[in-house]
A and B are shown apart, each in its own frame.
Chain A
């Protein structure tokens, strides 16, 4: 759903970091050190705040949209 892409961007960014930085096969050579929440990227804390804030407002909008919908695809209202 197109609206979700806008909503989920910070969530997807957080997921991207968890996936690509924490997971994946480690073969050899140089590697970026990252252990759980700890890594040396400054973006962490702010991304976390955004992800939660956005998830909350997405949740609220979904609830509102569900209340309004007559079976139509809900259109995301801008904040």
Chain B
């Protein structure tokens, strides 16, 4: 049975690999140029930053679940890790909401689910 430090080491390697893969994919998906119009550059950069945070956040969530399932965390550690990610998720939904867009069409399409925040 691997001791805690071994489990963590393997976990860190998984984390590093997944970050590398996902961030490479993001880099490939980025446009050659970002609009440098002074009126828009701030929003463009903000969206870029949020996207990078989201990519990293998804990886962290995925790795956290793997560690939890792998049994390498105590119940306390699971709760603390989960809470951190939960708060980060809530915060990101708020920030994304500021950039998100609602649309009249959307209300119709969602039907029974009601209004979108």
Contacts and interface: CB of A to CB of B under 8 A. Distances in A.
A and B touch in the complex (CB under 8 A): yes
Given A35-B51, A37-B58, A42-B117, 20 more contacts: A9-B109, A10-B109, A29-B33, A33-B31, A33-B47, A35-B25, A35-B55, A38-B54, A38-B55, A40-B47, A40-B51, A41-B100, A42-B97, A42-B100, A42-B102, A43-B106, A46-B110, A46-B113, A49-B113, A50-B113
A20 interface: no
A42 B96 contact: yes
Interface of B: 25-26, 29-35, 44, 47-48, 50-51, 54-55, 58, 96-97, 99-103, 106, 109-111, 113, 116-117
A1 interface: no
Contact of A10 (B58, B102, B103, B110): B110
A36 to B, nearest CB: 8
A29 B31 contact: yes
A43 B99 CA distance: 11
Nearest to B108: A9
Nearest to B36: A30
Nearest to A13: B109
